Amino acid sequence: MVRFPKHSPTIFTAALAVVAFVGCASPQTTFEPRSDIADSIMTIYTLVIVLASIVGFAVFVAMAWLLLKFRARDGVPARQIHGNNKLELAWTIAPILVLVAITLPTLFWIAGTANDQEPDALEIRAIGHQWWFEYQYPGIGPDGGPLITANELHVPIGRQVSITLESDDVIHSFWVPQLVGKTDMIPGRINKLHNFTPNEIGVFFGQCVEFCGSAHALMRFRVHVDSTANFNAWVAGFSAPPSTPAAGSAEARGQAMFAGCSGCHAIAGTAAQGRVGPDLSLFGERLTLAAGVIDNTDSNLRQWIGDVRSIKTIPELGRFMPTFKGTLSDGEIADIAAYLKSLTLN
């Protein structure tokens, strides 16, 4: 009769949980590359996984063989081995060969990522703030100036993207697993992200991956890979002033009240040109708010305007958005939300 160890159910449950976890999809997976650089990273991943699997299989097979060959049996005691020159030579040379097999392709990959910037590359300046991302596209905004937006980055498919990274306060880090590897954003220094070319239309998740304060885990962003036509339409939307709301409408009342927010926020084509907080141009086109933390719905937006700290842990003082729940009525908050949601492509 075969007897199983008493901890077998626990071991089986843990193994099943690991298998289930591995099978779960993640919006920040590195195993579904959507750019040339991400494809290269995936190639290295695959190489390491294959080699590690071979090593693991070989170790378990050797262990099983040794356990069976030298086990204690009826009338035969277990044998002990004290030194084996061939075995020691093998387990010294084998790891060296595995490391060489990983190192050489990795070095070639690193050299290949230092690719030259293409003449038509889309240049973007990304700036990390506590706790949101600012994006500036030089020369394609209103009147030939920079196009400025926040938290949702738009790039066209099939065109190389060249991003420089900066920080306005503390160390942040920029990472879009499906498009490009991680690079830090350091105060007083300009870092360069690897140039990458997206190869699939979609929305991809990004995250600050360097601890930067109390709301670090809530400092997220999205990268929209658009068709060329949709990207050009999005860019053109910044040069067209927002539609004038109908007199007496909630949007018109909200626009009048938003004048008090213009010292911190900017909206292209209007008198609001504040640069303390995120630029809100074409805000109605965004899928998320609060730096990618929640969906951009009416109820979420009203909650965000009324009581920002019920969604995101940020200090009460400094250059941070105040709470308006005790200052503005629910109706006034709803009017401001309606105005912001109306800022869409005409």
What percentage of residues in the chain have a pLDDT greater than 70?
A: 91
Provide mean pLDDT across the span 41-54. Answer: 90
Domain, as residue range, for 257: 250-341
Read off the pLDDT band of 208 (50, 70, 90). very high
324 found inside a domain: yes
47 found inside a domain: yes
171 found inside a domain: no
312 found inside a domain: yes
321 found inside a domain: yes
Residue 8: exposed, middle, or buried by beta-carbon count in 10 A (0-12, 13-18, 19+)?
exposed
288-312 residue pLDDT tens: 999 999 999 999 999 999 999 888 8
Residue 258 CA to residue 178 CA, distance in Å, equals 37
pLDDT of residue 218: 93
Read off the pLDDT band of 2 (50, 70, 90). very low
Of 99, 100, 110, nearest to 40 by C-alpha is 110
155 found inside a domain: no
Q: CB within 8 A of 279, min separation 6: which ones?
A: 134, 148, 149, 150, 265, 266, 267, 268
Average pLDDT, the chain: 88
Confidence check: pLDDT of 46 > 50:
yes
pLDDT of residue 295: 95
- Overall number of domains in the chain: 2
| % helix, strand, coil for the chain, step of 5 | 40, 20, 40
pTM of the model: 0.84
**Long-range contact list for 212-217, CB < 8 A, 24+ apart?**
212/128, 212/130, 212/131, 212/169, 212/170, 212/171, 212/172, 213/130, 213/131, 213/170, 214/313, 214/314, 214/315, 215/130, 215/131, 215/312, 215/313, 215/314, 216/131
CATH at residue 37: 1.10.287
Residue 203 CA to residue 27 CA, distance in Å, equals 10
pLDDT of residue 1: 47
323 found inside a domain: yes
- Per-range mean pLDDT, top range of 215-229, 249-263, 309-323: 215-229
Instruction: Give the number of C-alpha atoms closer than 13 A to the C-alpha of residue 49, restricted to the C-beta side.
Output: 7
Read off the pLDDT band of 323 (50, 70, 90). confident
Q: Which amino acid is at 122?
A: L
128 found inside a domain: no
Confidence check: pLDDT of 228 > 90:
yes
Of 279, 342, 7, nearest to 151 by C-alpha is 279
CATH at residue 336: 2.60.40.420
pLDDT of residue 313: 83
Confidence check: pLDDT of 23 > 60:
no
